[in-house]
Amino acid sequence: MRSIRINLENGKLMGIFKVNILFFIISIFVFTKLNSPELYSQNQNQKCLICHGKPDFKLKNDDGSVKQLFVNDSLLARSPHSKISCYDCHNDIVEITAFGHKKNVNKVQCTRCHYENNPVGAPETEKYLEFQESVHQLELNKGNPNAPNCQSCHGSHDIVKRKSLSSLELKKKITQICAKCHLDIYAVYKNSIHGSELFEKNNADVPSCTDCHGEHTIKKHDDPLSSVYETKIYGTCGECHASEKIFEKYGIKSDKIKTYESSYHGIAVQFGEKTVANCASCHGVHDIRPQDDPASLINPANIVKTCGKCHPDANANYTMGKIHLNPHNEDSGSIYYISGFFKWLTLITIFLLAIHVMLDLFRKLKHKKALTK
């Protein structure tokens, strides 16, 4: 305490004191930096970047094709893997000579780190366990060369953190990922109400591929565990279409699920019946459009054909009735008024009955009093 006071009184000493503090701070800073995982991995990476850091580093194969071997480490530095080194992923490269290293480097195994309760802090991936059961992993197991592994969807050195993208950017990016292999479906989806809202109006409320199919859980559409299975799909549409919060602003009622559930088709579906109509049988799957779009399956010009898939005798008359019938909405026409009439009839009857019971009780009490007197 005292020595500090002396220093403060003496200008020259004060200067030395300042320099010392500065030196102390700098050395702590340098020390922690040298020990930071980023710097450690950057040092390790230099051993690889001597060759792979050259932008024109490529390999000519015997068949004339060219393989880029340049690695842009600034992409890696921006990725969530900035703290791990080349060795951590390409862990089968152990020996490096002046000419390079072993040929036929193994594919990177992301699940070496990404598993439940891993010690390196890779985001928990019970997701990995889910992926094991997905159609994509099952196809990989069968040896399908076109099925995606982790890096087909996520990329390699340019992986991005989920949080660094807005939900709009993420939804768009996901459709591009799936489009790499499911281009035909992407092309249809892009022109649907959901796809056109996403791409043309930058609307992030609409579903991208994974909102309906899941991310790592994707199953074949005819697998009863799939989120788009015939008896499950209405619940998947319902994630959004039952939400008043989402649909208020579009002037579309959020009662589509409730009304479906109480319709003939909906009741049958809840009993596990697959042959009845689900949301997609009437609206389409990847080509869903509003009713006033001439290409919509529920457009008046097409609806007879749509019902006709399953009701061969359907005619214009058959399709007239409202499908999403909500007796509590005025636009349900006579049903609304009839339902209203019966509601009031019931209420008034109960009211009159109650009065009747009370009067009766009152009369009996009076009678009893008269007798006891």
| Site membership for ligand HEC, residue 198 (CB under 6 A) | no
The number of residues making up the chain comes to 373
Separation of alpha carbons 349 and 341, rounded Å: 12
Q: Which of residues 291-310 bind ligand HEC (CB under 6 A)?
A: 291, 298, 303, 306-307, 309-310
CB of 104 to ligand HEC, least distance (A): 7
CB of 309 to ligand HEC, least distance (A): 5
Cβ proximity to ligand HEC: between 78 and 127 the closer is 127
How many Cβ atoms sit within 10 Å of the Cβ of residue 345?
10
Separation of alpha carbons 298 and 291, rounded Å: 6
C-alpha torsion sign, points 46, 51, 57, 61: negative
Q: CA nearest 228: which of 241, 215, 242, 214?
A: 214
Q: What is the DSSP string of 77-96?
A: HHSTTTTS-HHHHSTT----
| Site membership for ligand HEC, residue 283 (CB under 6 A) | yes
Exactly one of 198, 206, 255, 326 binds ligand HEC (CB under 6 A); that residue is 206
| Site membership for ligand HEC, residue 55 (CB under 6 A) | no
C-alpha torsion sign, points 305, 311, 313, 314: negative
| Site membership for ligand HEC, residue 205 (CB under 6 A) | yes
Cβ proximity to ligand HEC: between 32 and 43 the closer is 43
Exactly one of 20, 275, 346, 349 binds ligand HEC (CB under 6 A); that residue is 275
Angle, helices 2-9/11-35, rounded to nearest 10 degrees: 120
Q: Which of residues 33-52 bind ligand HEC (CB under 6 A)?
A: 45, 47-52
Q: Which of residues 146-165 bind ligand HEC (CB under 6 A)?
A: 146-148, 150-154, 156-157, 159, 161-162
| Site membership for ligand HEC, residue 290 (CB under 6 A) | yes
Residue 220: phi and psi, rounded to 5, are -60, 145
Residue 23: phi and psi, rounded to 5, are -60, -45
Cβ proximity to ligand HEC: between 252 and 348 the closer is 252
Separation of alpha carbons 43 and 45, rounded Å: 5
Exactly one of 19, 21, 37, 123 binds ligand HEC (CB under 6 A); that residue is 123
DSSP 8-state symbol, 94: -
Cβ proximity to ligand HEC: between 32 and 167 the closer is 167
| Site membership for ligand HEC, residue 130 (CB under 6 A) | no
Cβ proximity to ligand HEC: between 17 and 90 the closer is 90
User: Taking a C-beta distance cutoff of 8 angstroms, is the pair 299, 287 a contact?
Assistant: no
User: Taking a C-beta distance cutoff of 8 angstroms, is the pair 254, 243 a contact?
Assistant: yes
Exactly one of 7, 17, 133, 211 binds ligand HEC (CB under 6 A); that residue is 211
Q: Which of residues 234-253 bind ligand HEC (CB under 6 A)?
A: 234, 236-237, 239-241, 246, 250, 252-253
CB of 353 to ligand HEC, least distance (A): 36
